[in-house]
Structure 1
Amino acid sequence: MIIGYTTGVFDMFHIGHLNILQRAKEHCDYLIVGVSTDECVESYKHKIPIIPYEQRAAIVEAIKYVDEVVPQTTMDKLIFLKKRHFDVMFHGDEWKGTELYKKYEEEFAKYGAKIEYLSHTEGISSSMLREKIHG
């Protein structure tokens, strides 16, 4: 059984979010999704999500591609891997080849895990929605 893991804020849930979860599930038998807590988002984005954590987690949990939702309390993916093994982490391809993710790939290999990069859905993001709302 292949256990997959992905994370996100999933604020203002849109088709891009659904697509990434569907594509991740196509590559694993059991998909764990880390939904960033409000505190985690505030720590690195310096803003609070529009939709509170509990509601974002409930939305993601209701999606048929998702087997389990866990709170993401830190951006350090290695901490979760050490706590709860998974075989493959799915992440947006804009991070592929960066120093941080090269390091993750090396560290994950020590635990028998790998990273698969998925492309984002063109023309949609929570940031774009935020701009439309605020004009």
Structure 2
Amino acid sequence: MNPTEKPNKRVITFGTFDVFHIGHVNILERAKELGNHLTVGVSSDALNFNKKGRYPVYRQEHRVHILNSLHCVDEVFIEESLELKGEYLSRYKADILVMGDDWAGKFDHFKDQCEVIYFPRTKDVSTTDIIQMIQSRID
């Protein structure tokens, strides 16, 4: 394999991808470097409400559209349930699961299905912090 050629691997990652920022770009580009196909599971509005007690700022169809527009993303789907991650890994034929290191260890039980990699988060960037900052300016 020549140095510019990507490994023939299918990579998958999951997230809400709300209030899209440089941290999202960084993890997606780094994930794509690991293979030749990147699939992104976007948390549904309902799933996000169940996880975080609030709905995303941007509706799921808008978040999907944003991700589909990126050169590094090959496929996007709506993640309806956290309990279906193993099924999503199988359905999308994932060789590698990439998550931010704020989830370190939480997906290790999928190592029998695929390689699991945790990337460091982008320093000083957080969707929650951005939302809180905007809200404090409004208040």
TM-score by length of 1: 0.89
How far apart, in 2, do the equivalents of 1:68 and 1:17 lie? 16
| DSSP-derived class of the 1:32 partner | strand
What is the CA-CA distance between 1:42 and the residue it aligns to?
Answer: 1.1
Matched, 1:22 2:29: yes
Unaligned 5+ residue runs, structure 1?
none
What is the CA-CA distance between 1:28 and the residue it aligns to?
Answer: 1.0
| DSSP-derived class of the 1:16 partner | helix
CA contact (8 A) 2:12 2:89 kept: no
Alignment partner, residue 9 of structure 2: 2
How far apart, in 2, do the equivalents of 1:102 and 1:8 lie? 17
How far apart, in 2, do the equivalents of 1:56 and 1:116 lie? 24
Alignment partner, residue 103 of structure 1: 109
Matched, 1:83 2:84: no
How far apart, in 2, do the equivalents of 1:72 and 1:92 lie? 17
CA RMSD of aligned residues (A): 1.2
> Could you say which structure has the larger radius of gyration?
2
What is the CA-CA distance between 1:37 and the residue it aligns to?
Answer: 0.8
Q: Structure 1 residue runs of 4+, over 3 Å off?
A: none
TM-score by length of 2: 0.86
Matched, 1:35 2:42: yes
What is the CA-CA distance between 1:94 and the residue it aligns to?
Answer: 2.3
Unaligned 5+ residue runs, structure 2?
1-7
How far apart, in 1, do the equivalents of 2:63 and 2:102 lie? 23
CA offsets 1:27-76 (integer angstroms, 9 cap, x no match): 11100001111011112111100100000100011010000111111123
For these two proteins, the number of residue pairs brought into alignment is: 128
Which of 58, 62, 69 is residue 69 of structure 2 equivalent to? 62
